[in-house]
Amino acid sequence: MEFKKGNRGPSSAAFCIRNEEGDLVHAAAKTLSDGSNIVSEAEAIKMGVMYCVEKQLFPLIIETDSMTMKMIINAEWKIPWCISMLMDDITRMMEDQRVTVEHIHREGNRLADILTNFVFDFAGTVQFRNFQELPSQAKKILNLEKIGIPNLRIRTLQDKAPD
């Protein structure tokens, strides 16, 4: 749900809500002040949960590529002070709701990553209420996911010089 340019510096957060068939219900992204990856991840989850609360979209499955956020939301890890206020909001909104948090690999989060990059071209917030409003690269990813073509990350190993 999140993207960050570097470790500290300009950042953004994005979320995508899809229905059972994988169709886009809503997506949004916004620029954030300078912050860390964990702050961006927490902000993206807060934005998504807030939208679901407003529209009463429960039960909810949160998919995040941040194992840290999964463990924090599931109360398996302590909350870092830098996101304690965000987590208070997230926890309060999720109270008495059926919410499951699942970890996904980074490749499964490509749609949100594209939207976080997209928002850097615009100051503030962008929202997408349907498929037609999405940028073309995001449409392509959503279509590939719907027909079951996996997103792959291909890495090449670089030979090390002999010692």
Instruction: Per-residue pLDDT tens, the chain, 163 aa: give them.
Output: 444 444 566 789 999 999 998 899 999 999 998 778 899 999 999 999 999 999 999 999 999 999 999 999 999 999 999 999 999 999 999 999 999 999 998 888 889 889 988 887 776 889 999 999 999 999 999 998 888 887 766 677 776 666 5
Dihedral, CA atoms, 23, 2, 103, 55, nearest 10 degrees? -50
Whether 68 maps to a domain, the answer reads yes
DSSP string for 118-155: HHTTSSSEEEE-SGGGS-HHHHHHHHHHHTTPPP----
Whether 91 maps to a domain, the answer reads yes
Give the domain extent around 79.
2-146
Q: What is the pTM of this model?
A: 0.84
Tokens of 93: 């909104």
Would you state the pLDDT for residue 102? 96
Q: Residue 34 is part of a domain; what is its CATH number?
A: 3.30.420.10
The domain tally of the chain equals 1
Whether 13 maps to a domain, the answer reads yes
- Residue listed under structure tokens 């670089």: 158
Would you state the pLDDT for residue 52? 97
Whether 97 maps to a domain, the answer reads yes
Rounded to whole angstroms, how far apart are CA atoms 100 and 94?
Answer: 10
Whether 163 maps to a domain, the answer reads no
Whether 142 maps to a domain, the answer reads yes
Whether 161 maps to a domain, the answer reads no
Whether 160 maps to a domain, the answer reads no
